[in-house]
Amino acid sequence: MPRIKSLYYTVFLVLCLSIQVALADDLPIKITNVWISEAPPAVSPLAAYASLQNQSSYEMTLVAVSSPDFSNIEIHLSLVADGMARMEKQPAMTIPAEATIELSPGGYHLMLFNPGKQFVAGDKAMLVFTFADGSAVSIEASVMKRNTAHQHKHHHPE
């Protein structure tokens, strides 16, 4: 009996491993350069950036980003209207077929609310990206310094 139990256990482990690999392989979006901008303790939310490359022949829509390290995460777009730079919350972000969208300072970015701790350069946080087709992928983000601090004021010159 112990032999059968350990066989079941081995099969279970192999299944778990193959499911994880399948998820990473099946996702037609490659998410790279995921980083969170280090900010002084008083500054919240934090801003995060990434590169999303859609390798499929159909559009993919990012509908949610979540993390155990933050209460909630919003997709924002920085824009300039009437000479003023501001940010607008986006309900989703669509990546056209075979296109890459860079989340970067001054454009699309993620706002990470209520960090569970003080994040400093070198720290890591897990971000889960969920798409309209139900697929999801978790990616490790690195906290990094940047030259010009992202103050997240709604009226500031970029």
How is residue 149 annotated by DSSP?
-
At 62 the three-state DSSP class reads: strand
For position 150 contacting Cu ion by CB under 5 A, the verdict is no
**Residue 154: CB minimum distance to Cu ion, A:** 8
Q: In the stretch 44-83, what mask flags binding to Cu ion with x, by CB under 5 A?
A: --------------------------------x-------
How is residue 123 annotated by DSSP?
-
**Residue 104: CB minimum distance to Cu ion, A:** 12
Among 62, 65, 75, 87, the residue binding Cu ion under the rule CB under 5 A is: 87
For position 111 contacting Cu ion by CB under 5 A, the verdict is yes
Alpha helices in the chain (DSSP H): 2-26
CA distance 158 to 149: 11
Cβ atoms of residues 46 and 72 within 8 Å: no
State how beta strands 60-66 and 72-81 pair: unpaired
52 vs 111 by CB, closer to Cu ion: 111
74 vs 123 by CB, closer to Cu ion: 74
34 vs 76 by CB, closer to Cu ion: 76
